[in-house]
Amino acid sequence: MAGVLSSIVLTGLWIVWKMLCKIPFFVRRYFNRGFEFDIPSDDKVIYLTFDDGPVPEVTPMVLELLERFDAKATFFCVGDNIKKHPDCFRLVVDKGHSVGNHTMHHLKGSAVGFDKYLSDVEDCNKLCGSKLFRPPYGKITRKQFKELKQRGFRIILWTVVSFDYSKKISRKTCLNNSLKLQSGDILLFHDSIKARSNMLYALEGVLKHYSAKGFRFLPIM
């Protein structure tokens, strides 16, 4: 019964996230046992994160933009992309950014079996060597979640999602989605070809806006 109830609540969270680009505070606090939606801080700090890379057509452009603003970020990498583009992955690390695990094949936890999902996570971990984990699509079953926590993974979600991957929104809307940040918030972008146009426009806008307000951009450690 508890497992069914948890699934219903998580489904509700998914619906809220799809409706709102910022997950409400009360939702984040309700689920803060194990999930990290933000990293509370008294300092003016923002955590930029990028999913689905590394991609040589996009990731180096992100790194160049971050460097212009002396910003650091966290890249949740798909293991298969690390395998295909090792030099691009090494560039992320060499530039001083954090890396995290986004499974080997970008699997949706609710759509695959327990053993297959955990094996895919561990295969990616062999390449990225990180205990930071973000489930693709933000979807993970309670059993998968509990096992990953027991294995020492930190489950990093987000406070604000830019929806940069959506073809239904303009670059300006993507930027507006991203300008809802407070200190300690985690912003979700994608360093993918599909998201490139919206993401680069919004990323530059975020860096300019919050740098002018005295914020720093730090990697999740």
Candidates 38, 51, 120, 164; catalytic one = 51
Nearest of 45, 71, 38 to residue 156 by alpha carbon: 38
**DSSP assigned state of 219:** -
Q: How do 216-217 and 98-101 pair as beta strands?
A: unpaired
97 is catalytic: no
d(CA 175, CA 204) in angstroms, rounded, equals 9
E strands present in 44-173: 45-51, 73-77, 98-101, 132-133, 154-156, 160-161
* Helix/strand/coil percentages in the chain, nearest 5: 45, 15, 35
Alpha-carbon Rg of the chain, whole angstroms? 16
User: Is the C-alpha dihedral spanning 2, 22, 161, 72 positive or negative?
Assistant: negative
Active site residue 51: yes
CA 176 to CA 21: how far, in whole Å? Answer: 10
- C-alpha–C-alpha distance, residues 67 and 216, integer Å: 13
Q: Which of 85, 97, 102, 190 is catalytic?
A: 190
**Residue positions annotated with a catalytic role:** 51, 190
